[in-house]
Amino acid sequence: MNSITEEILKEITDWDGIFSGAYSLRENGECISFQNSDNIRIVKKEDKSGIDIYISSAAKETVYIPACVTKSAVEDVVYNDFHVQSGADVVIVAGCGVHTDAEEGSAHNGIHRFFLEKDSRVVYKEKHVGIGNGAGKRVIDPVTYAELEENSVLEMETLQLHGVDRTTRDTKAVLGRGAKLKIHESILTDKDQSASTKFLVDLNGDDSSVDLVSRSVAKDDSVQEYSSVINGNVRCTGHSECDAILAGNGRVNASPALNAACIDASLIHEAAIGKIAGEQIIKLMTLGLTEEEAEEKIIAGFLGA
Amino acid sequence: MLSLRDIKLDLETKENLLNGVSLDIMPGKLTVITGPNGGGKTSLAKLIAGLYVPTSGQILLDGEDISHMSVTDRAKRGIAYAFQQPVAFKGITVRNLMEMASGTEMHESALCRILDRVGLCAREYMDRDMDSRLSGGEMKRIEIATVLARPAKYLLFDEPEAGIDLWSFSSLISAFEDLKKDEDRALLIISHQERILNIADNVAVIREGVITQYGTKDEVLPNLMQGGGCSPKGKEMY
């Protein structure tokens, strides 16, 4: 593992020199180290780059799947499939960092599929960062597909705070009876960065539910696009909320859609885009913060950073 | 001492909001400013906190002219201000806000001590966001608590009774009475409520941008008691 990988790991995970339990560490397009646990087995794919992660019913633990790109001119594409057996209850810490100090950029595209069996539960944490001083673009384009069987629960917490020049995020999920999907996505862009995020959720099982919260901050000349489609095909509940803060010349386009195809589908959408309210800054200034400190606190709180 | 010297305030939207106001706010005393709506009470509080800059006149904080000082610098010099309308923040918890107010990390016991004074249980509220999922009354009480948490010498409360239930209001009166015992701190409360006026040391009546009456509670209150409607929190003076 090189020193840049160490730097990235510290930022995107709680790594302190060692991963206890199951993990797979990817560096510049190759798995450089992995470890199984009693309940989690990691198997390298034969036909393409990536791994299958088999999580047994007895698993009640955290598994780490970080990916690091530490140099320019890397185009990494990885296919990771998570097979979560009935009754398992795990935390998956993924995340990716792309570093370049050169004129040429680098990219990491993680294509993750989740198959959650009945009554399983997964918390998925993903943090994306870009670092280094080169002019090359740092690109991260994650694709996520999730199938949730009866009464399974998937919570996704995704965070992109700095340094990623371009990102296109594509998330799809299909929910069975009683399944629950909770997504909290936070994206900050600045300079001339751009971010596009798309969600498509099919609520196909009675009493399934989705709670989709997206928070974005677009500073300087950056641009963000958000689109979500929630299809309520049965008796279900869906809630989506996309809030954005604009600063400088930042732009945000939001296109939420709700499609109810059943009389008992209950779908709600909330959206708010605008600059930081002046009264919020003033309130924090009356507590002794400067205007800049107040803005930082408001944005950090908003993004859950 | 916080002294206002012949303060005049014009805004783009309205002239003569304040028209020659002079007032001394002394540590160890509770001063209540009352008067009809639109008379200039909130403008006065905002002016002291630095949200407005006086058109003319001076604001002296322990002898230092702070008339043109920023909101932040006034806060750092010991002025705390509870807004009439609490501000909502998505993603900022009650604990975050209280810690920003106190300037230190706060353990649950410290949060309990402050929030209990406004009738809230810290354990129930500290990790909740200060946003619209809280009721108006809950937000108002947290707003007041942010000022109680500040290590400030001059505490300003703009209509603290508004939106607060009866039980919490009684608890708030007790909190103000406790604060009054601190000889180093000055309280300035904008209020219409008889029960708040009753615990005042000094009362100023402001009407059409001018202080029309000022004196001890015993001097001013009898003149005000002749009107007003009754409410469980006490008479509405205006």
pLDDT at A219: 96
pLDDT at B167: 78
Angstroms from A129 CA to nearest CA on chain B:
21
> Looking at the domain assignment, is residue A138 inside a domain?
yes
pLDDT at B229: 46
Name the residue facing A298 among B49, B76, B89 (closest C-beta).
B89
Rounded Cα distance, A217 and A190, in Å? 8
Q: How many Cα neighbours within 13 Å face the side chain of B29?
A: 16
What's the Cα-to-Cα distance from A91 to each of A17, A25, A160, A184, rounded to whole Å? 19, 16, 19, 15
Per-residue tokens: A42? 């990691």
**pLDDT at B38 > cutoff 70:** yes
pLDDT average, residue stretch B210-237: 76
Contacting residues of B for A302, CB less than 8 Å apart = 89-92
Q: Residue B170: pLDDT band by 50, 70, 90 thresholds? A: confident
User: What pLDDT, in 10s, does the model give residues B197-216?
Assistant: 999 999 999 999 999 999 99
pLDDT at B207: 93
**Nearest-Cα residue of chain A relative to residue B102:** A287
User: What pLDDT, in 10s, does the model give residues B1-22?
Assistant: 999 999 999 998 888 899 999 9
User: What pLDDT, in 10s, does the model give residues A63-103?
Assistant: 999 998 888 888 889 999 999 999 999 999 998 989 888 88
Angstroms from B51 CA to nearest CA on chain A:
8
Weakest-pLDDT range from A112-121, B48-57, B115-124: B115-124
- Domains, chain B, in order of start with CATH, read 2-183+199-216 (3.40.50.300)
Number of domains chain A contains: 1
- Chain B within 8 Å of A239 (Cβ-Cβ)? no
Residue A5 CA from chain centroid, whole number: 20
Contacting residues of B for A290, CB less than 8 Å apart = 72
pLDDT average, residue stretch B78-95: 95
Among A283, A295, A299, A302, most B C-beta atoms within 10 A, so best to mutate, is A283
> Looking at the domain assignment, is residue A290 inside a domain?
no
pLDDT at B205: 95
Is-contact A105 A72, C-beta < 8 A? yes
A285, B71: Cβ pair inside 8 Å?
yes
Please state, rounded to an integer, the average pLDDT across all residues of chain A: 94
Per-residue tokens: B9? 């305030």
User: What pLDDT, in 10s, does the model give residues A286-304?
Assistant: 999 999 999 999 999 999 8
Rounded Cα distance, B41 and B33, in Å? 7
**pLDDT at B234 > cutoff 80:** no
Name the residue facing A289 among B72, B83, B150 (closest C-beta).
B72
> Looking at the domain assignment, is residue A191 inside a domain?
yes
**pLDDT at B230 > cutoff 50:** no
B92, A297: Cβ pair inside 8 Å?
yes
> Looking at the domain assignment, is residue A93 inside a domain?
yes
Among A242, A279, A280, A286, most B C-beta atoms within 10 A, so best to mutate, is A286
Name the residue facing A301 among B70, B79, B96 (closest C-beta).
B96
Per-residue tokens: A285? 């200034």
**Nearest-Cα residue of chain B relative to residue A295:** B89
**Nearest-Cα residue of chain A relative to residue B146:** A287
pLDDT at A293: 97
pLDDT average, residue stretch B114-134: 91
Among B42, B90, B144, most A C-beta atoms within 10 A, so best to mutate, is B90
Name the residue facing B75 among A288, A291, A300 (closest C-beta).
A288
Q: Is the pTM of this model over 0.90?
A: no
Angstroms from B33 CA to nearest CA on chain A:
20
pLDDT average, residue stretch A127-133: 91
Q: Residue B95's closest CA among B110, B80, B85?
A: B110
Rounded Cα distance, A114 and A212, in Å? 17
- Chain B within 8 Å of A290 (Cβ-Cβ)? yes
Angstroms from B120 CA to nearest CA on chain A:
21
pLDDT average, residue stretch B118-141: 91
B72, A304: Cβ pair inside 8 Å?
no
Rounded Cα distance, A3 and A70, in Å? 9
pLDDT average, residue stretch A128-138: 90
A283, B87: Cβ pair inside 8 Å?
yes
pLDDT average, residue stretch A134-141: 90
> Looking at the domain assignment, is residue A79 inside a domain?
yes
Q: What percentage of residues in chain B have a pLDDT greater than 70?
A: 95
ipTM here: 0.93
Q: How many Cα neighbours within 13 Å face the side chain of A115?
A: 10
Q: What percentage of residues in chain A have a pLDDT greater than 90?
A: 80
> Looking at the domain assignment, is residue A299 inside a domain?
no
User: What pLDDT, in 10s, does the model give residues A183-216?
Assistant: 999 999 999 999 999 999 999 999 999 999 999 9
B81, A286: Cβ pair inside 8 Å?
yes
Name the residue facing A304 among B51, B76, B91 (closest C-beta).
B91
pLDDT average, residue stretch B40-52: 95
Domain that holds residue A156: 3-277
> Looking at the domain assignment, is residue A283 inside a domain?
no
A277, B87: Cβ pair inside 8 Å?
yes
Q: Residue B148: pLDDT band by 50, 70, 90 thresholds? A: very high
- Chain B within 8 Å of A282 (Cβ-Cβ)? yes
- What does the DSSP assignment read for B13-80? S-S-SEEEEEEEE-TT-EEEEE-STTSSHHHHHHHHHTSS--SEEEEEETTEE-TT--HHHHHHTTEE
pLDDT at B235: 67
Contacting residues of A for B50, CB less than 8 Å apart = 286
**Nearest-Cα residue of chain B relative to residue A276:** B89
> Looking at the domain assignment, is residue A140 inside a domain?
yes
pLDDT at B237: 65
pLDDT average, residue stretch A32-45: 95
Q: Residue B115: pLDDT band by 50, 70, 90 thresholds? A: very high
A287, B51: Cβ pair inside 8 Å?
no
